[in-house]
Amino acid sequence: MSLSRHVAVLVGSLRKESVNRKLALALEKLAPASLRLEIVGIGDLPLYNQDVEDQGAPASWVQFRDRIRAADAVLFITPEYNRSVPGVLKNALDVGSRPYGKSAWNGKPGAVVGTSPGMFGGFGAVHHLRQSLVSLNVPVLQQPEVYLSGADKIFDAYGNIANESTRSFLQEFLHAFEVWIDKTGVRPASPDKAGQELVRA
Amino acid sequence: MSLSRHVAVLVGSLRKESVNRKLALALEKLAPASLRLEIVGIGDLPLYNQDVEDQGAPASWVQFRDRIRAADAVLFITPEYNRSVPGVLKNALDVGSRPYGKSAWNGKPGAVVGTSPGMFGGFGAVHHLRQSLVSLNVPVLQQPEVYLSGADKIFDAYGNIANESTRSFLQEFLHAFEVWIDKTGVRPASPDKAGQELVRA
């Protein structure tokens, strides 16, 4: 039995009926047993303020950082707000990156999915996010790139991905992400492999 | 007597002792009488969520949008958080841009100042912000570009700009901004000029 990789999923929109949230849930169902996706909420994180940190970080900040630290990897699913990352998602990045020298993101394998109801598939948001992830030392899966245009039309009535080709593309993406986590993450990919290494040593 | 242009100043850091806030206050003092700078707070704006909008926008969102609408221009003074715009400032952009079709930013002349204690002067934040301002239809002053590196060391004990060359550079910037507001804004530059136009008509 291989070890399950735990992926913290951050959703860039707070709307209940957000396609980003729907997509997170659809991917959770599409993912193989070895990849456990779980949404980590970002809607209750107070806006980052170092003065607040210095007086004692709010419980929600501490819990959020702990959940990121506990995960094997992070997956960002984001819409584009005004050609960039939604403030709510950027705030979560900022909160997770502090206090200075104790970033929860450091070295955590990551992947980014952009969505939009229109044509661009969140391109602007994805690449702004990728620029931040460089400085946060999150090794980000390069390919397949995922820009889901027309994202409000990809689900069936049960919240599954309706279209077969979109579904297999997303499965391919999840597989590539799993390989990426094993390559760049800090944990052994499975007890078997870890065991092999012990035998070899 | 010429009409005073009212500039809403958005400060990208919530820290009380933030150099961005200090800079906003210093610029307020440096500005000519014809340019009235006033900080508009962004720290109490709940994270943008369209569901919340649909149930009735919080008073702080409504007041913020009204203050932006009432201003002749907007000045953004921002640090760089993780190579981009702080979440707190991006959230303010997002809040001001909604509801769809009623953006408070539309057509408002703008300028951007980047700061950092280090060498880059907030370059990454400034250009991410400029990308958003394209889609928000804020005509942004191109030059002089302002990237204030070593920004924690530019003030004297009274919060004024200590260095003469930095001070005159910032005065030059404010002058260029004023010219820009008159060129691209919707109000007449002064009663005199407006009067001239009436006489000529």
Which CATH architecture best describes the domain B5-200?
Answer: 3-Layer(aba) Sandwich (3.40)
Chain B nearest-CA residue for A91: B87
Q: How far is A128 from chain B (nearest CA, A)?
A: 7
pLDDT of A199 strictly over 50: no
Rounded CA-CA distance B130/B125 in Å is 9
Question: Angle, to 10 degrees, between the axis of helix B164-184 and the axis of helix B19-30?
Answer: 70
For residue A84, list chain B residues with Cβ-Cβ distance below 8 A.
Answer: 84-85, 90, 128, 131-132
Q: Is B21 on the interface with A (CB under 8 A)?
A: no
Are A82 and B136 a contacting pair at CB < 8 A?
Answer: yes
End-to-end CA distance of chain A: 22
- The ipTM is 0.90
Q: Which of A85, A87, A132 sits opposite B48 (nearest CB)?
A: A87
Please report the DSSP string for A76-129 in residue order.
EEE--BTTB--HHHHHHHHHHH-STT--SSTT--EEEEEE-SSSSTTHHHHHHH
Please report the DSSP string for B123-157 in residue order.
HHHHHHHHHHHHHTT--B--SS-EEETTGGGSB-T
Chain B nearest-CA residue for A133: B82
The pLDDT value given to residue B187: 55
Residues 25-84 of A with CB under 8 A from B: 43, 45, 47-52, 81-84
Sorted by where each begins, the domain ranges of chain A are 5-200
Please report the DSSP string for B64-102 in residue order.
HHHHHHHSSEEEEEE--BTTB--HHHHHHHHHHT-STT-
Q: Cβ(A47)–Cβ(A87) under 8 Å? A: no
Q: Which of A15, A43, A48 sits opposite B86 (nearest CB)?
A: A48
H or E stretch at A164: helix A164-184
Q: How far is B2 from chain A (nearest CA, A)?
A: 35
Please report the DSSP string for A15-84 in residue order.
-TT-HHHHHHHHHHHHS-TTEEEEE---TT-PPP-HHHHHT---HHHHHHHHHHHHSSEEEEEE--BTTB
pLDDT along chain B (201 residues), means of 10: 85 97 97 97 98 98 98 98 98 97 97 95 97 98 97 94 97 98 75 38 35
pLDDT of A192 strictly over 50: no
Q: Cβ(B27)–Cβ(B170) under 8 Å? A: yes
Q: Is B179 on the interface with A (CB under 8 A)?
A: no
pLDDT per residue as tens digits for the range A137-188: 999 999 999 999 999 999 999 999 999 999 999 999 999 999 999 999 985 4
Are B82 and A97 a contacting pair at CB < 8 A?
Answer: yes
Q: Which of B85, B87, B134 sits opposite A47 (nearest CB)?
A: B87
How many Cβ atoms are within 10 Å of B147's Cβ, its own excluded?
18
Are B84 and A16 a contacting pair at CB < 8 A?
Answer: no
Chain A nearest-CA residue for B97: A82
Are B14 and A47 a contacting pair at CB < 8 A?
Answer: yes
Q: Is B91 on the interface with A (CB under 8 A)?
A: yes
The pLDDT value given to residue A71: 98
Residue A1: pLDDT band (50, 70, 90) is: very low
The pLDDT value given to residue B2: 55
Are A97 and B87 a contacting pair at CB < 8 A?
Answer: no
Cβ-Cβ contacts under 8 Å between A and B: the total is: 122
Q: Which of A47, A84, A128 sits opposite B88 (nearest CB)?
A: A47
How many Cβ atoms are within 10 Å of A116's Cβ, its own excluded?
22
Cis peptide before A99 (omega within 30 of 0): yes
Are B81 and A94 a contacting pair at CB < 8 A?
Answer: yes
